[in-house]
């Protein structure tokens, strides 16, 4: 590499480093200030994590939902790559395989409550770090390992099998999302209401056999002829609802809002001030204040309670029954919210009796807290 190229590389690294430091300033300041919400996060024991990992690995080869069906070729490819490592006698490949194993081991160790013990007295802000994301490097490592095996292995049949499975995996990944969206919208358009609810319940329970039986039953459908004219709501524009949120912005101005039944970050994306949302790091004191809004709802649902108290990244207006909301709108107002954006109609003494903005098509309703 020439001296000129070294200079360009050096300048590039300096620019990137300075950018990263500037971006990290709010994070550093938040850590140096009040305790952050991550200090009260709870993690599972190492044994429980190991058992769960074995269950997940076993479950990979017995798909329970559409995602697992489309990801099955990838799991088979991984298994074939690992198996071939033991058949190929190559020190570099064995060392790389060891590195993958140590990465996986480190991920499990740091994801367990051992980190709670380590960081209880020192560096407490590290206590709630999501070290499980170390595993995000594994796909890259497996890809490198695949290339190394294809280079070393001389068996043409085996190489063709690996290449074919790699192509199938790539196509399967690409097909998953459009297939999932089409199936979801197709069933929503064609299934009877009660059949659709049964599909949703069985999807949550991972009962793929029951879902298939509902879909196969002709009595589950509204019409004799299927409606194929389906439109997804997961495109960028349809998800963020720019047009309807422009109208909301005119009503709320610089005031803060809270969202119920709709992603609160949609409001933030549309330049509307919010009191809720998804945040990697924020002050523990705010988590406690916001909890007063959803306290009664959390008391009705141990899953939500455990999720908020022991994780807390989602500062959401959690609820159990939209027809019997136990949310404390007075506490929401105390925290700065003047308006409520909802995906359904609400009747509550602390809200304007009629919505200020009612959009039936987008299922968006705006209320003022009184």
**In the chain, what are the domain boundaries?**
44-170, 236-368
Can you give the pLDDT at residue 164? 94
pLDDT per position as a tens digit, 309-323: 988 899 999 999 999
Greater confidence (92 vs 33) lies with 92
In the chain the first and final C-alpha atoms are separated, in Å, by: 68
Exposed/middle/buried for residue 259 (C-beta within 10 Å: 0-12, 13-18, 19+): buried
283 forms beta bridges with: 36
Can you give the pLDDT at residue 230? 66
- 13 pLDDT band (50/70/90 cuts)? confident
Rounded-to-integer distance, Cα 341 and Cα 277, Å = 13
pLDDT per position as a tens digit, 331-367: 999 999 999 999 999 999 999 988 999 998 888 999 9
* Mean pLDDT in residue range 45-69: 77
Can you give the pLDDT at residue 47? 82
pLDDT per position as a tens digit, 206-263: 777 888 888 888 888 987 777 777 666 667 888 899 999 999 999 999 999 999 999 9
Greater confidence (278 vs 153) lies with 278
pLDDT per position as a tens digit, 59-113: 767 777 778 888 889 989 988 988 888 887 788 888 888 888 998 888 888 888 7
> Containing H/E element for 61?
none
pLDDT per position as a tens digit, 14-28: 888 888 888 877 767
Tell me the average pLDDT of the chain: 86
Helix, strand, coil percentages (3-state) for the chain, rounded to 5, are: 65, 10, 30
Can you give the pLDDT at residue 333? 97
The b-or-e profile of 20-37 (16+ CB within 10 A means b, else e) is eeeeeeeeeeebeeeebb
Is pLDDT above 60 for 1? no
Greater confidence (134 vs 329) lies with 329
Rounded-to-integer distance, Cα 170 and Cα 164, Å = 10
Can you give the pLDDT at residue 204? 76
């Amino acid at each position: 590499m020439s001296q000129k190229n070294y200079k360009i590389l050096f300048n590039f690294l300096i620019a990137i480093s300075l950018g990263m430091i500037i971006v990290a300033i709010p994070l550093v300041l938040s850590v140096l200030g009040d305790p952050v919400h991550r200090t009260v996060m709870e993690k599972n024991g190492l044994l429980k994590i190991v058992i769960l990992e074995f269950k997940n690995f076993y479950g990979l080869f017995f798909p329970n939902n559409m995602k697992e069906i489309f990801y099955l070729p990838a799991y088979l490819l991984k298994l074939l790559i690992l198996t071939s490592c033991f058949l190929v006698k190559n020190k570099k490949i064995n060392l790389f395989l060891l590195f993958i194993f140590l990465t996986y081991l480190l991920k499990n160790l740091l994801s367990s409550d051992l980190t709670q013990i380590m960081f209880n007295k020192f560096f407490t802000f590290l206590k709630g770090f999501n070290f499980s994301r170390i595993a995000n490097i594994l796909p890259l490592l497996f890809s490198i390992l695949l290339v190394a095996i294809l280079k070393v292995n001389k068996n043409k049949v085996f190489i063709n099998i690996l290449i074919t499975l790699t192509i199938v995996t790539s196509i399967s990944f690409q097909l998953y999302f459009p297939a999932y969206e089409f199936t979801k919208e197709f069933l929503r358009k064609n299934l009877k209401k009660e059949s659709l609810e049964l599909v949703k319940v069985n999807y949550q329970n991972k009962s793929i056999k029951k879902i298939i039986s509902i879909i196969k039953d002709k009595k589950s459908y509204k019409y004799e002829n299927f409606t194929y004219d389906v439109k997804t709501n997961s495109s960028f524009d349809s998800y963020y609802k720019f047009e309807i949120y422009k109208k909301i912005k005119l009503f709320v101005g610089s005031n803060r809002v809270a969202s119920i039944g709709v992603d609160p970050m949609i409001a933030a994306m549309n330049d509307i001030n919010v009191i809720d949302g998804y945040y990697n790091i924020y002050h523990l004191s705010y988590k406690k204040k916001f909890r007063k809004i959803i306290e009664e709802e959390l008391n009705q649902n141990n899953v939500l309670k455990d999720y908020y108290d022991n994780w807390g990244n989602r500062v959401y207006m959690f609820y159990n029954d939209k027809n019997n909301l136990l949310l404390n709108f007075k506490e929401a107002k105390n925290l700065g919210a003047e308006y409520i954006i909802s995906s359904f109609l609400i009747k509550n003494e602390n809200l304007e009796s009629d919505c200020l903005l009612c959009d039936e098509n987008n299922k968006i309703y705006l209320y003022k807290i009184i």
